[in-house]
A and B are shown apart, each in its own frame.
Chain A
Amino acid sequence: MKRALPINRHVAQRVGFTAITLMAIATVLPIVAVVIYILIQGLPAISLEFLTGFPHDGMRAGGILPAIIGTVYLTIGTAIFSVPLGIGAAIYLSEYAADTPLTRTIRIAIINLAGIPSVVYGLFGLGLFVLFLNFGTSILAASLTLSIMTLPVIISTAEEALRSVPQAFRTVSISLGATRWQTIQQIVLKEGLPGILTGVILGLERAAGETAPILFTGAAFFLPRLPHSPFDATMALPYHLFVISTQVPEMPIQIQYGTALVLLVFVLTMNLIATVIRSRARAKRQW
């Protein structure tokens, strides 16, 4: 049998730990660098005119208001469809579903929805909403496409939040004469709310930053006005960034970084809100 000196094992551990630590740093550092770099490069472009004006001179000057408003519309549109449906599905999985083949099929379906490439969602939205249901390239079609893409995120985080509510809470409520739905509505949903909110925001954050699903379902290259109805196409921040960085020649670099910064702030704010809600709920939890 080989006899290793104990010191060698400890040296190996020290070397190994250092290597793993460096790997973790190498993974995280670029994220911080990306955020700081865009902040530094984009900040000079930010002005009131940039945030509240319309683009002009072939988008090479002016503001990005229509893209900002468009992303807000799409995010709200996505929320309208995906939040009730996602929470409903989470309630079903956590409170109603027994471990049957059907339930397992639902879970596999959710896992698969989460894995489908975003551009395939775009194709699906084009086929079903834009052409088959004749919504045209519109906010409605894009929101519906984004909703289905967002669904698995909302379902899985909301289900986890509901499951973490102790079983005793339900038992007590039912024993006091409440119906199942009253128990869910007034006890389970209330206690699980912070977790559900976190999931909803993280899901919508992803929808707000996506480009591929809206490429053929609702995104407009350039619009001189704001959309009037859900059946209008719209500009959107991620698509606008793609357009001005690859499709428009001689685009001022500052506007590109400014647009990237606005999109980043939009998304990071949602991320921050979700993180704060979660850590507050954890600190407050008494069970």
Chain B
Amino acid sequence: MTLKLDWASFQAAKYACMNFHYSKSVPAGKLIKIGVWEDNKFIGVVLYGIGANSTLGTPYGLEQTECCELVRIALTQHATPVSRIVAISFKLLKSISPGLKLIVSFADTNQNHHGGIYQAGNWIYSGQSKAADEYLVYGERLHGRSMRAKYGTHVGKDFIKIVKGSVKHRYLMPLCDMIKLDIIKRAQAYPKRVTKANLDFPSESGGAVPTNALHNIQ
């Protein structure tokens, strides 16, 4: 089996998000789209973005341009371990954005995700993020950024309900030694897999948790 990672088109990334990821949505904002091929067959994408807010890197003393978020891993059935695919994607990401020093990613507890792929890839666990408010718009649960991207500012307030977002496990991957020395002090013990799933509300902002297909085979 041959594995190849290369740049993906937006069209291919959208297809992967819509068909291979539980959220069936493409993250808002600028994206670095890394495609994955096994035996020359397209099996999905790994997407990096600037994250849901501009202060993603602030806790680590980083500017917005030094920190990014791994926002989607949208893969169909595959032979290569996800952690390996993600690790290879770092090289492509660094080649196109050499100024980046840190990648942040989140595993959504509401999806029964504990971040197994990050643990397998030796990411640094830095605890849980606070549950930010999300919005129920026309019955669809959206992060504020996604809501603005989809509807602009013209959603009538009568159609929006503010709901408590889910708590997410936060994982960090330093891309340079200096930041590694700093964030390793924040490392906490990896959380364990949650046994009882609660799949009532797929999180739209979801982060790069594994696809449903992966969930079954990991």
A binds B: no
List residues of B whose CB falls within 8 A of some A CB.
Answer: none
